[in-house]
Amino acid sequence: MNLERAILEVLSDVQGHLMTTQTVHAQTRCATGADTTLTEAKATLERLERKGQVVGDTHDDYGHRWSITSKGKIRLAE
């Protein structure tokens, strides 16, 4: 499975709530069974952010958190 699409599906499943990078990584590994690294997940999230399909937010208490955008939802619908 495409890692970008898997991450978008994980973020879509939480209906707009923010997820930390580590949680996205763990949920993606559980959903796909793929042996992806945290570094790969972070790089993919950053690539999706450049495409406008996810948005990241840095928080003092929780670190960097992510959510899917409308562009990401459109990609999943295709």
CA distances from 63 to 1, 32, 46, 67, 77 (A): 28, 25, 15, 13, 29
17-67 residue pLDDT tens? 899 999 999 999 999 998 999 999 999 999 999 999 999 999 888 889 999
- pTM here is 0.91
Task: Give the residue from 19, 47, 16 showing the smallest Cα distance to 31.
Answer: 19
Alpha carbon dihedral 23, 57, 76, 28, in 10-degree steps, equals: -10
What's residue 47's pLDDT?
A: 97
Span 64-73, mean pLDDT?
Answer: 95
Q: Per-residue DSSP letters for 30-50?
A: HHH-----HHHHHHHHHHHHH
How far apart, in whole angstroms, are the C-alpha atoms of residue 33 and residue 55? 25
Write the class of the CATH domain 3-77: mainly alpha
